[in-house]
Structure 1
Amino acid sequence: MPNRRRPPVAVLRTHAVPAAVAAISLAAALASWQYVRAAVQAQEVARFRERATAGTDALRDRMNAYVAMLRATRGFVEGTGGEPDRLGFRTYVQSIELTRYYRGIQGLGWCRALRPGEVGAHVTAVRAQWNPEYRVWPEGERALYSSIVFLEPLDWRNRRAIGFDMFSEPVRRAAMERARDTGDVAASGPVELVQEAGTERQAGFLVYLAVYARAPRSPEERRDLLRGWVYAPFRATDLLRSTLGDAPARTLGLAVYDGEAETPDALLYDDGTAARGAALTTAQRLEVAGRTWTVRHTATAAFVSRTDRALPALVLGVGAALTVLLFWITRSEVLARGRAEQDARRTAFLAAASQRLASDLDYRRTLPEVALLAAERVADVCVGCVVEPAGPLWFAGHRDPARAEAWLAAAAATGLDPQARTGMAAALSTGQPHEVDRAPDRVPFFAGSPALAARMREDRVDALLSVPLMVRGEPLGAITLLSAHGPFDAHDRALAEDLARLLGAAVDTARLTWRAQDAVRVRDEFLSIASHELKTPLTSLALQSDSLRASAGRGDAEALVRKSDVIRRSVDRLTRLVASLLDLSRINAGRLELELEPVDLAEVARDVVARFEEEAARAACPLSLEAPEPVVGRWDRVRLDQVLTNLLGNAVKYGPGRPVEIRVRADGDRALLSVRDHGIGISAADQRRIFERFERAVSRRHYGGFGLGLWIVREIVEVLGGTVRVESAPGAGSTFTVTLSRAPEPAAAHRTGAATTSPPPTA
C-alpha cells in the first residue's frame, strides 16, 4: 500500500539547490574577509541587547502572569462573598497548579481586613474551622488589622506566616493601602518575609490585590467596603532563578533593584557573575504592579570571551554559520512547497469530512463515513468511539470493508479500560493525544488487548495516534489513526487534532439539538397536562358558584353547605396543583431549602393522618396508623409532612373504598415509613418510571394530577439522605417505603435539590 500521508519530495529539488546556494555563500564569506571584525563586534552588541531585552521581557511576562493569577483569585474570593473557607481556597489553589504553572512564587494567600471589633470573632471562627492555634500577631492596638488566613501551599515556610498582620509593617502597609485605594495590583518594596528562617535568607517582596464587598464607586467607598487582599509573596532569588535560570547557565550577569537608584538597600537580586570592567552593560526599567524596577544586565566573562577570538576563526565561523543558515532557508523554501501541498490536501479532507457530518445529524451514521474518508486520505486505518450512556459507540474505517469490520470487533473487544496505558483509553483518561510508534516492537505493550495486538500484526501497523474528542474541556470520545508506513509527523498530528475537534463539535451539536428537542417535548407535555388539570377544578368552581347563587336565592341552607364544600375541595385541589408547580420550579432551580431540626416522625404521621380523615371518609378508605413509639431524627418537618401527604393522597386516590395502613418504626440508626393501600396496584414496567417528572402509571382520563407527586417525594427523600421504593402488583395494591437516616451525613443534610435530566437521545 503506498504511503498516502507523506508523498515524497524529489531529492534533487530538496538538496541540490540548497547546496548551490551554500557554495555561493561560502565564496562571499571569503571575499568579505576585511569586514569580518567590524561585523562580529556589531553582532556581539546586538546579541547582548537582544538577550538583555529577552531577559527583561521574560521577567515582565512572568510578573504579568502572576498579576493575572491574582485577578483570577480575586474573582474566586468575590464569588464566595468575600469569605472563602479553607477547603475551597486550598482546592482552588490546587486546581490552578501553582507550583507547576507559576514557578518562583512562594504561595498564594488570602489576608482578611479586620476592624478592631471584628478580631475576636474572626479568631474564634478560624480556630473552629481549621486552626485551633490561630491568632492575629503581632499584638497591639491598631485602627485596622489584617491577618493572613490562608496561604497555600501550606508548607513549613508558609505556616510561619499564618495570622501575621502585614498592615502593622510600614513597607507592606504602603503597598496594601495603594492596592486598597486604587483597586489595582500593588507591589511592596524589599522586605524580609516572615517565612524566612535559617541561613539562606533572601530579599523578598509581596504583590497585593484588594477585595471589596461590592464594586466601590469612590476611594472612600474602597476603604469602607474593603474585605481583604489576595496576595502573593515572593523570594526574589527563587523568582529570578526560576524565570531566567541559574547564574552558571547564563552568559549575562543580572542585578535587580527596587526603584531607579542602584543602591544596596534597594537590591533585590544579584547573581554576582558580572565581569569586572565589562564594556557591555545596560539598565532597563520594568514596571511591576505599580513599582519601578531597574534590571541591570552585564556581560559575563563567558560572554566576553566569545568575542576575543582570532580573526581567522571568527571569519570561518561566521562564514560557516551563514552558509548553514542560507542552506536551511533555501531548503525550507523548497520544503514549504511540499507543506503547502499537504495543507491543501488537509483543507480538502477537512472540508469533505465537514460536508459529510453536516449532511446528517445522526452521528452514528456519519462517523463511519468520516472514518473511511480518514483511512483513504490520512492513515491506513481509523478507529474511534463516542462515550454514550448505554456504552461506547464504536466506528471504524478501512479501504477494505471486511478489515474495517475486523478492526471494529477488535476495538470493541479491547474496550475502554480506565487502567489502560495506551490508545483511546489513555487519550480519554488524560484528555491528551497519545502516540505509539514502532508498534511491532511493542506488541507486549498490548498484552491485555490480544484482539488489538493480532490486528496490528496482521496489518503490519507500526504507529498509532489516539486523540480525544474534547468539548468544553470534557472528552466525548476518541479517534485512533493507525499507519503501516512509519511514524506520524507534526502535520499528521495537527490534522488528527483538527479532525478530533470537528468530530467532537458534530457530536456535541447533535446532542444539544436532541436535548433541545426533548425539552420542547417536555414543555408541550407539561402545557397539555397543566391546561387539563387546571381546567377541571376551574370548571367545577364556575358551575358550583352558579348553582350556589341559585341556592342562595331559594334559601336552601343545606344546598349552600354542600356546594360550599365542593367549592372548597376544588380550591384545595388548585392549591395542591400550584404547590406542586412551585416545588417543580424550586427543584429544577436547585433551591429546595431545608430547615433541619429534631423531628418525631410518628408525630408528623399522626398530624397528616388526622388531616386526611375527612378526605379518606369521603373515599370510604379507613386509615390505620401504627406508630408505637417516637422516632426522632434531624429532618425538615415541613418536607416530611409533604412526603407523607403525597403518599397518603395517592393511596386514597388509587384505592377508594379500601383500607390504607401507615406504619412508622425505628430500625437502629434508620427510620422507616411505609404507606400501604389495597388499590389498583402498579405493574413492574411502570414501577421503573413513576418517580420521574410527569410520569404516571394510569391514564389522566381516569385519575387527575400532574404526575409530579412521586417525583417530588423522591427528590425530598434523596435530599434528606434517604431512599424510597415501591412494592406492588396490578390489583394487589402498593406499598411505598421511605428509609431515612436519623442522623444524616452533612453532605446529604445540607444538599439542595437539583433537576434531573434524562440522558440525551441517541437517535
Structure 2
Amino acid sequence: MGRYAVAMSRTPPEEGTPGTARPSLRRGYLLAVVILLGSLLMVWMYARTAGEREQRAAQAAFESQSDEVLTLLRQRLLHYELALRGGVSLYWSVSRPTERQWRDYVGGLDIEHQFEGLLGLGYVPYLRRTDLEALQLAMRDEGKGLFQIRPHGARAIYGPILMLEPQSIGNRSALGFDMFSHPVRREAMAAARDTGQVRLSAPVELIQRGGDGRRNGLLMYAPIYANGIQPANLQARRTAMSGWVYAPFHVRTFMESALRQLDSGQLLRIVDLGQGGPGIEVYVDPEFRADPEPETLRHSETVELYGRTWRVDFQSALRTAGAAGAGADLRTSVAAGLIVSFLLFAVVLTLAHTQSRAERLAEAMSESYRRSEQRFRNAMLYSAGGIALLDRQGRIVEANPALARILGVAPASLPGTVLDSRFVDPGTGVAQGDSYSTATCKLLRSDGDIRLVELVRSPVPGDVGSDVASLVQVEDVTDRVRAEREVRLLNRTLEARVEQRTRELTLANHELESFAYSVSHDLRAPLRTVEGFSRLLGERFGDAIGPDGQDYLARVRKAANRMDALIDALLKMSRITREPLQRTQVDLSRLAGEVLAELRQGEPGRTVEAVVEPGLEACGDPALLRNLLQNLLGNAWKFTAGRADARIEFGRDPDAPPAPGMLALRVRDNGAGFEPAYASKLFRPFQRLHGADEFEGHGIGLATVKRIVERHGGGISAEAAVGEGATFRFTLPERAPEPPHEPH
C-alpha cells in the first residue's frame, strides 16, 4: 500500500511540457513508421507466396475433381456391365431364352430408372451361314415370317440384332441389322469374343436418335459361350462363341446421367485414341475452348476402359480464382498492416496516459477477485454435498456445513482434523497427489453409525505459500447402494421364477405329447370296429340293404380308413418330436437319388427330368433326413403329374444369404404350384391347398418336414405361383458342432 500511495501522490507531467511529451510523441511516430514499413514488406511477401500456394491448391483441387469425374464415368460403365452380365447369366441358365423371358428380364431391370442412359439391352447371335439358314427356318416355323438381315449379302459370319428390349420405335427398327458387317462394331465384337471380357466400341452412329436429335453413341458387348463356360485359349473361344449381349447408349445422355450428382463446374472433352493417331472425338462440352485463357485450369488423363484408350481433357468452366484471390489477399494484408500500424502508433502516444488506467484496472480486478471469492463461499455454504479443502498432510483447512452434517459433528470442530481418520479403515480414503481420483469408503459418524460415502478429490492450484492443496467432495451413497442391492436381489428372484416357469412349460409339453399319443392310439380301436362291422354288414346283408345302402357303407368304410391314415400320420409326427437325434454325416445327394428311384419304381410310366446336385452333405439324423426328402421330393413328384415336361431339382440355394455352419438347400419343381397368399398354411398339420380329388394326401407331410428342419436347427420357407411350380428353401447344419476344448 505504501508503494501505491507514493505512486498515486505523484503528479504526471502534462502532455505539453517541453522535453517530455514531444520527444515521446516523436519516438512514437518513428516507431509507427518503422512498423508500417515492416508490415507492408511482410504483407507483400506473404501475398506473393499465398498466391502461388492458392494456385497450386486450386490445381490440386481441380485434378481431384477430375478424378471424381473419371470415377463416376467408370461407375456408370460398371453399372451397364452388370446389366450385360445379368443377361449373359440368363443365357447360361437356359440354352436360348424366349422373347418373353428376355422381355421379362429387361423389364425387371427397370432400365429407365436404374440404368439411366441405356437405350436398351439386346441379344446378337454369332452365326455362320448355315446357322443363319437354320435360324431363319426355325423362326419361319414359329410363325414369325422370314428373318431379314440388313445389309444384304453373303458373308462368312453374321451378327444380326435378334432381340432388343424395351421395344421402342427406335429399338424395333434396329432388329435384323447385321452389326458384324460394320467395321467399328465388328472390332468391338471380335475383341469381346477373343478376350472373353466386356468390350466397348469406338464412337458410332446409332440407329436410334438421341434426345438432341443426334445419333452419335457407343456400344458395349459381353460375349456368350456355349454351355456357359469360357474356353482357355483363343481358338476354343472362337469355336465355342454363341453370341453377345449388347447395350447401346448415346454419349451425351450417358455423360449427363453419370455426372448429374457432381456439380464440379468442369468442361470435358473425350477423345478415343484407338490405334494411335489424333483419335476420334467421343464427347465434347459445348463450352470447351480449344485455346483457353492462361488463367484457365487444365488437366488431361489417359484411361483404359473396356478395351478402349480414352484421353479425357478437363478445363475449368470459370476463370480461376487464384490470381484474384492472391490480389484480394494482398489488399487485405496491406489494409490490415496499415490498421495495425496506426493502432500501434496510437498505443505509443497513449502510453503516457496508462498509469491511471492501470490503477482503475487493478481496482476492477480486485473487485472481480472479491466477487469470485464470494461465489465460492456461497457454493460451499449452500451445497448439498460435503466439501472440504485439505492441506498437503490431509488436514481439513475449511469445510462446509453439509460435510459436518454427514460426519455428525459441529462445523467448528472440523478445521485442523485429518479427514482420513474419519473412515472405518484409515488409509482407504482418497490418496494425496497431483491428479484427479475417486473412491468409495465406509465412514464412521460421531454417533457410531457407519455410512458408505463416495469421495472425489481434485488438486487445487493455490497461491504461493498457500496451505490449500486439494478439494474433496463427500457424498453419502448409503441409501442408493441399499436400493441397488434390493434391485439385484429382485433380479435373482425373477430369474429363479423364469427357470421354474420354463420347467413347468417343458413338463406341460411332454404331457401334451403323451396325451396326443394316447388319444391317437385310443381312437384307432373304435375306428377299426366301425370299419369291421361296416364290412361285415356289406358282405352278409348287401342284398337286403340295396345299392344305396352299399354305397353308404362304402363311404363309411372309406372315411374310417382315411381317419386311420390321419391318425397314423399324427403318430409319425409325434414320434419325430419325441425320438432323440442320432447325428452323423449324411450324403444328401445319394439319399435324394434313392428317393427319386423309389418314386420312379412306383410310377414307371411317368417321364420326369430329375436334377440332383452331387456332393451335398449335412450333419443330422439319417432316418429323419430321409423322411424330409421323401416328403419334399414326393410332393414335387405328385404336383408335377399333369405336366409332360415335368422337372424336379435338388441342390444348393444360390439366393440364400450366407449363414456360418449352415447348408442352404432348395427343392424346385415346375408343377401345379399354389397361391402365394396361402404359403403360411403349408406347414400346419392337416392344412391342404388342393382338394383331395385333385391330389391325394393327409396334410401332415410338410408339417413333419418343418419339425425335422427345426429339430436340426434350421428353417424352411416356400414360394410359388399357380401353374408355375413351387420352390422349398431350407437349411441344415453342414458339420457337427465341435466339442468345447478342455483346459490343460
Could you say which TM-score interval applies, normalised by the shorter chain? Answer: 0.3 to 0.5
Query: TM-score, normalization: structure 2?
Result: 0.41
Larger radius of gyration: 2
Q: If the length of structure 1 is used for normalisation, what is the TM-score? A: 0.40
